């Protein structure tokens, strides 16, 4: 009796079944029965209860269906080993080819080199993936000296195989992870093998795993999180046991890994969160579970799925900041205080005059994160864009054209007098000798603002060159402190304030940031500036070491910079991009290497048979669940013996989890304003592939119904013909090809360009 109560405590059954068992445990006759419930179904429920009791005796819940009999367990192990062999052999084959930089290797290989050299850089993604790439290169003998300038550059004597091999190894884990996940969800080695075959023979998954990219690392952690979550769910009968804790903690570790590689790792965090919320809701509804025990479940999940991943995620950034301690190309994206901690930066352990003075040479940095330095150059605004005068922009990198001279409003001799709150000054661009100027012409992009230009020559100009210095929170006569004072520049003639809009100018503006004069005088970071570099030989210097920020400050700033940088990724002229609706139908791929007949060509494109099979499976799954749900509701006989309650639950709940995973990793891209690429779909493709395996589940129950026979035939066809044969036809896309293009009859891809949008 006590044993059955314990079963009811942790069994995630429907409320009807739970109430029935509670009544049975208390010795009462269950009144819950309907005219369409057969004796066979009750017998099946009894078998489930018996299986639950076995679980409490130390037998895993996955024994309920008996698939882990010695014969089936040996078969499952043999299938798994076959999947591992296929996955690693297809990913590691020709890993050294082509021996030149391909596609985004120019970015992520270079960033791996930065870690080896400890050089600070900026990227829109969190650091874990690049750190692991750099570590893999370092451990395999790469010295970090290759420049990774552009795709097509030869690697020559540089050791690159370790970084490629590391990414390929993680990509090789995807089919085995998918096999184990579907095996847990479906209890069918056939369904698991279908899933593994889909991923093992997909040319897209092979290609994206073979190069120095973040995608195989990201997908490794996503699949690791899903597998760990499913394994944890299977331990619900053994709460707080060692395996229960192991899979809970491993889920949290993988969640932190996914988010630590790319922010799209948030999608799998959302998936695990929704699954956990449903699990807790079910436990809360179990009247046999005390509130104290429920509190233990809640706190353990808070620890394993929130606190632990958060700690690991913050630790990733701590290591990132410790390793990258030298000045590099990413300095200008960050605040002056942030830069002061970087060895080699002009602000590191620097000394300079403490207060701004007339006659000083300065750089002026906008306080908006990634706002840039006040900048000018010889180029003029084009015809039709305000006055055709010299461009003034914000530039994110340190540059000689960021230098400005501070003058009085008149032409009197410059003495080392200090600039104060309320002073009227003139800023002269050091390189071009033109003054910072504004007038009533509209700004290039922000039409309600005024244009800012460089005007005059050798310091001569007009009254529109005068600006009033305002120290934020200051009073008249307050001094301007270098680096520490927040300063605004008010235009005397128009009353507007110097402003960095954050908008990127077109190519005529060298894709730098727009500078305007805003008539809206509210204090915002866009209109606030600080004096960064300060050169004046007539003034004494002070040390700036006191300005170094704390860890939490640089952690917050780095996230703001990454998020704004990510949202600012817009398609450039003639740049290849794609739309989310292109992805499931395999509308267009990506060139990884080569264009013409003489070059070694690699083209990222999913195996079309597999991708279209996945697309059909998505729709077919919805139909199957609808039919099964209606049949169970109405008591319709689908074959000579009923489809059991447990089988339908496996079909709907397990498959529903995968459908939700596909939805969460795909649909949000429709809302994104940033540039999108074909490879963004691959995490969602993992879930659709596993769902394809789930669609094969009914064939393990030997149905006699005609529609399900068609499903079985469809699955058999996909296993026996489509995947291996289509892989053989399209494998040159992954492993490289030379010679004639696809339209030529002599090409290795002749007759295989099934869509005009494919470019191979």
Q: If you average pLDDT over residues 622-639, what whole number do you get? A: 72
Percent of the residues in the chain that have a pLDDT greater than 70, as a whole number: 82
Return the pLDDT at 409: 84
With helix as H, strand as E and coil as C, how does 693-745 read? HHHCHHHHHCCCCHHHHHHHHHHHHHHHHHHHHHHHHHHHHHHCECCCCCCCC
CB 689 within 8 A of CB 581: no
C-alpha distance from residue 558 to each of 131, 206, 363, 366 (Å): 16, 33, 22, 16
Query: Is the model's pLDDT at 448 over the cut of 50?
Result: yes
d(CA 528, CA 431): 24
Helix, strand, or coil (residue 640) = coil
d(CA 115, CA 634): 63
d(CA 296, CA 417): 68
Return the pLDDT at 638: 54
Per-residue confidence band for 407, with pLDDT thresholds at 50, 70 and 90 = very high
What pLDDT digit, counting tens, does each position of 297-345 carry?
A: 999 999 999 999 999 999 999 999 999 999 998 888 888 888 888 998 8
Nearest to 738 by CA among 602, 604, 601, 591: 601
CB atoms within 10 A of CB 579: 12
Q: What is the pTM of this model?
A: 0.80
On average, the pLDDT of the chain sits at 83
Reported in sequence order, the residue ranges of 320-449 that DSSP labels E, i.e. its strands, are: 351-353, 361-366, 373-380, 390-395, 404-408, 424-429, 435-442
Tokens of 614: 């996945």
Helix, strand, or coil (residue 44) = helix
Interacting residues of 2 by C-beta distance below 8 A, sequence separation 6+: none
Query: Is the model's pLDDT at 516 over the cut of 90?
Result: yes
d(CA 547, CA 561): 20
In a 13 Å sphere around the CA of 686, the CA atoms on its Cβ side amount to: 33
What pLDDT digit, counting tens, does each position of 4-56 carry?
A: 433 344 444 444 434 443 433 333 333 333 333 333 444 444 443 333 333 33
> Which domains are seen in the chain, by residue range?
70-319+603-733 (no CATH), 351-543 (2.80.10.50)
């Amino acid at each position: 009796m006590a044993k059955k109560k314990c079963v009811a405590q942790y069994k995630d059954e429907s409320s009807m079944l739970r109430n029935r068992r509670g009544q049975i445990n208390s010795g009462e006759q269950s009144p819950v029965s309907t005219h369409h419930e057969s004796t066979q179904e009750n017998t099946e429920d009894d078998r489930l209860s018996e299986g639950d009791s076995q679980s409490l005796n130390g037998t895993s819940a996955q024994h309920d269906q008996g698939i882990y009999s010695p014969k089936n367990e040996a078969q499952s192990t043999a299938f798994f080993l076959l999947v591992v062999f296929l996955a690693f052999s297809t990913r590691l084959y020709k890993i050294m080819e082509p021996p030149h930089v391909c596609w985004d290797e120019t970015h992520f290989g270079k960033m791996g080199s930065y870690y080896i050299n400890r050089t600070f850089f900026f990227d829109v993604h969190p650091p874990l993936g690049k750190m692991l790439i750099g570590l893999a290169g370092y451990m395999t003998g790469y010295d970090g000296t290759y420049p990774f300038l552009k795709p097509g550059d030869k690697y020559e004597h540089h050791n690159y195989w370790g970084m490629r091999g590391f990414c390929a190894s993680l990509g090789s884990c995807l089919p085995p992870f998918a096999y184990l996940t579907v095996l847990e969800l479906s209890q069918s080695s056939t369904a698991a093998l279908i899933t593994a075959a889909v991923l093992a023979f997909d040319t897209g998954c092979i290609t994206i795993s073979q190069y120095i990219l973040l995608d195989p690392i990201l997908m490794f952690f996503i699949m690791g999180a899903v597998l760990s979550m499913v394994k944890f769910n299977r331990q619900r009968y053994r709460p707080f046991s060692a395996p229960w804790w192991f899979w809970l903690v491993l889920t949290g570790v993988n969640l932190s890994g996914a988010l630590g590689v790319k922010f799209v790792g948030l999608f799998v965090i959302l998936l695990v969160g929704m699954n956990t919320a449903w699990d807790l809701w079910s436990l809360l509804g179990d009247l046999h579970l005390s509130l104290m025990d429920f509190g233990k479940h809640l706190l353990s999940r808070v620890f394993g799925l929130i606190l632990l991943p958060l700690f690991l995620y913050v630790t990733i950034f701590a290591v990132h900041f410790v390793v990258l301690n030298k000045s590099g190309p990413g300095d200008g994206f960050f605040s002056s205080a942030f830069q002061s901690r970087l060895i080699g930066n002009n602000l590191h352990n620097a000394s300079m005059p403490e207060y701004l003075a007339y006659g000083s040479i300065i750089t002026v940095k906008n306080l908006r994160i990634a706002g840039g330095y006040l900048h000018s150059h010889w180029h003029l605004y084009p015809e039709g864009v305000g006055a055709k005068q010299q461009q003034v922009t914000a530039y994110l990198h340190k540059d000689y054209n960021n230098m400005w001279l501070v003058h009085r409003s008149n032409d009197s001799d410059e003495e080392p007098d200090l600039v104060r709150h309320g002073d009227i000054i003139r800023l002269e661009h050091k390189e071009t000798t033109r003054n910072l100027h504004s007038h009533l012409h509209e700004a290039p992009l922000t039409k309600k603002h005024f244009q800012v230009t460089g005007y005059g020559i050798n310091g001569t100009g007009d009254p529109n060159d005068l600006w009033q210095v305002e120290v934020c929170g200051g009073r008249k006569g307050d001094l301007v402190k270098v680096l520490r004072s927040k300063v605004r520049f008010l235009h005397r003639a128009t009353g507007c304030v110097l402003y960095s809009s954050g908008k990127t100018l077109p190519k005529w503006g060298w894709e730098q940031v727009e500078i305007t004069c805003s008539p809206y005088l509210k204090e915002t970071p866009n209109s606030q500036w600080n004096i960064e570099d300060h050169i004046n030989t007539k003034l004494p210097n002070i040390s700036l070491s006191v300005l170094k920020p704390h860890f939490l400050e640089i952690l917050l700033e780095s996230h703001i910079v990454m998020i704004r940088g990510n949202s600012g990724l817009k398609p450039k002229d003639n740049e290849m991009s794609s739309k989310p609706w292109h992805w499931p139908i395999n509308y267009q791929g990506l060139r990884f290497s080569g264009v013409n007949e003489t070059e070694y060509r690699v083209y990222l494109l999913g195996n079309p048979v597999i991708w279209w099979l996945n697309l059909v499976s998505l729709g077919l799954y919805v139909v199957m669940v609808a039919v099964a749900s209606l049949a169970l509701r109405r008591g319709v006989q689908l074959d000579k013996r009923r489809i059991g309650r447990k089988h339908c639950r496996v079909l709907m709940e397990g498959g529903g989890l995968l459908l939700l995973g596909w939805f969460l990793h795909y649909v949000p891209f429709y809302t994104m304003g940033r540039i999108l690429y074909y490879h963004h779909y691959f995490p969602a493709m993992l879930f659709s592939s596993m769902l394809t395996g789930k669609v094969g589940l009914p064939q393990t129950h030997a149905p006699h119904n005609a529609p399900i026979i068609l499903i079985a035939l469809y699955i058999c066809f996909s296993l026996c013909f489509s995947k291996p044969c289509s892989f053989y036809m399209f494998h040159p896309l992954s492993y490289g090809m030379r010679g004639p293009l696809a339209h030529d009859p002599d090409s290795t891809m002749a007759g295989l360009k099934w869509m005009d949008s494919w470019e191979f």
